[in-house]
Amino acid sequence: MLLEGFLSLDPLQGFRAELVDGEIVVAPPPDGDHEKYVSRIVRQVIKHSGTEMDFSENKGLRLVSGDSSPADHVIPDGTFAPLEADLFAGAGPWMPCDGVAMVLEVTAANPRRDREPKRRCYARGRVPLYLLLDRDASQITLYSLPEKDDYRGRCTRPLGKPLALPAPFAFELETTDLL
């Protein structure tokens, strides 16, 4: 019933509706700084990755958890996948996360949601890497090694310090211009 109600939502233009940890969430459009941070990270990833990357902004992911609860339906600020996988071609509004290399979130109106429930959703969906730019804490965190409801690996750097991204990216993400 919850999933059917969620899927029937038609949010106002610019707003996005998600089903996160069994809760329907409607978020307002992001501010300009949020978009600046997303853009600066995406430029580096596309330019410096060891593998050619495809990118989708605000692509809905259906993250199946394996238990009887409805699948999480989450919209990351950015989704990266190897170009050769061609994951986004022909994908509907909610695509599975198989083949996704990394998701990106930049904190906005409710930073706690990005720090906790969304992190758990991505881990349950077995998304290999979750990159979180936390504007309030002035830091960037890379979560890796998903296992059950969380990630075993976590590397946090203050903004201004580089953050190493593992393969398939294999470069140091510069964060100085995110200060």
Q: Is the dihedral of CA 149, 81, 91, 86 positive or negative?
A: negative
pLDDT in tens, 116-125: 999 999 999 9
pLDDT in tens, 124-142: 999 999 999 999 999 999 9
In the predicted model, is pLDDT for residue 58 greater than 90? no
Query: Residues, the chain, total?
Result: 179
pLDDT in tens, 152-161: 999 999 999 9
| CATH architecture for segment(s) 30-178 | Alpha-Beta Complex (3.90)
pLDDT at residue number 69: 73
Of the pLDDT bands very low, low, confident and very high (cuts 50, 70, 90), residue 101 is very high
Domain layout of the chain by residue ranges: 30-178
Q: How many CA atoms lie within 13 A of 64 on its CB side?
A: 5
**pTM for the whole thing?**
0.96
Average pLDDT of the chain, as a whole number: 94
In the predicted model, is pLDDT for residue 39 greater than 90? yes
Of the pLDDT bands very low, low, confident and very high (cuts 50, 70, 90), residue 1 is confident
Cis previous bond, 168, omega within 30: yes
Q: Given strand 129-134, what is the order of strands in its sheet?
A: 53-56, 78-82, 102-106, 129-134, 139-147, 150-158
Of the pLDDT bands very low, low, confident and very high (cuts 50, 70, 90), residue 11 is very high
